[in-house]
Amino acid sequence: MSEPSALRRTPLHAAHRAAGARLVPFAGWEMPLDYGSILAESRTVRAAAGLFDVSHMARFHLGGPAAATELDRALGARMDDLEPGRARYSLLLAEDAGILDDLIVYRTGEEEFLLVLNAANRERDRQVLESRLERTRLEDRTEDGGGILALQGPDSRRLLAELTGREDFCPAFLDLGTLEISGVGPVRIARTGYTGEHGYELFAGPGQAEELWRQLLAAGAAPVGLGARDVLRLEAGLPLYGHEIHEGVNPFEAGLRFGVRGWRERDFVGAEALRALPEPERELVGLVAEKRVPRQGYPVLAGGRQVGAVCSGAWSAALDRPIATALIARNAEDPLAVSIRGKEIPVERRPLPFVPHRSRD
């Protein structure tokens, strides 16, 4: 683990301290885990509006006349038909179709794109992308003094409307727009997020993050840390690199075919390997337990035989029970159990997501 003095800090570090955040190392950054209660913060996002600092996420700006064509080959999702002002989920694949990372691509102009990727993979992803781009410039702006604020929850639209006096921003899921905020200036906004709730991500420019954070909290949003973010994304059945997805998992096993649209006919890195794959023998499933949380790596058993392993586990604030995801054999039959320190704990298989998505509402 890195020493605290070596950790990067977002522009909101002082604001987190002032709000009483519990700061922890995460992917090379010092980030707020919670502001008192992970479960209470999770419930706030489901019921009202929570505000996350996700400025640690990698932000790559790409541009040039060949950007759409070259990104279309570099990434799993189709990019040449993505309209300006829209976003799309995609996968960064290895040649053998293993998942190197997942990301959101925002087309900010005819020849301009913004990619937001996992903080832990920033350097590796940059090198991989640069090796696949011949005529397109890539700029890493992760530490340019700006950042990303995620406003999530059913009250998020109302808060932004009251703050800006506008009602017509980002009408559809995955839309982009710009909001003029008094005392902050123009801020790029996207109707995206990582909670399954109706919400927005705001891209603060250099010098904007602190005032934007202050105004959103004053408008009624509650600060929320990365602990609740993990609970919320798990309840929503959304994957996390290093857990549900990694180099040893392909998109079909992870249930992410939509992240490789057109894989049967398109030419992109990993497509040939995808076309050669047999039908997956493993599938990602949801599990619900009674008292103890199944953690990553715990064996999943059927009839006393291991049929897979847990990918992620947490106590669900929405269900008030332990939940988990697991990658298991497709032919595994119920009843299932998880081995926790040698003891078999019964679990119930559930379809994902555990809670309904409201991001498109």
* Digit-coded pLDDT (tens) for 15-67: 999 999 999 999 999 999 999 999 999 999 999 999 999 999 999 999 999 99
Structural domains for the chain = 4-54+146-235 (3.30.1360.120), 56-141+250-278 (3.30.70.1400), 281-350 (2.40.30.110)
pLDDT bucket at 1, cuts 50 / 70 / 90: very low
Q: Model pTM? A: 0.96
Arithmetic mean of pLDDT over the chain: 97
Average pLDDT over residues 287-300: 97
What are the residues whose beta carbons fall under 8 Å from the beta carbon of 101, sequence distance 6 or more? 91, 92, 117, 118, 121, 125, 241
pLDDT bucket at 5, cuts 50 / 70 / 90: low
Contact 52, 222 (CB under 8 A): no
Contact 174, 107 (CB under 8 A): no
Average pLDDT over residues 295-303: 97
pLDDT bucket at 2, cuts 50 / 70 / 90: very low
And the tokens for 361?
């509402």
Task: Give 223-277 pLDDT, tens digit per residue.
Answer: 999 999 999 999 999 999 999 999 999 999 999 999 999 999 999 999 999 999 9
pLDDT bucket at 80, cuts 50 / 70 / 90: very high
Average pLDDT over residues 314-325: 98
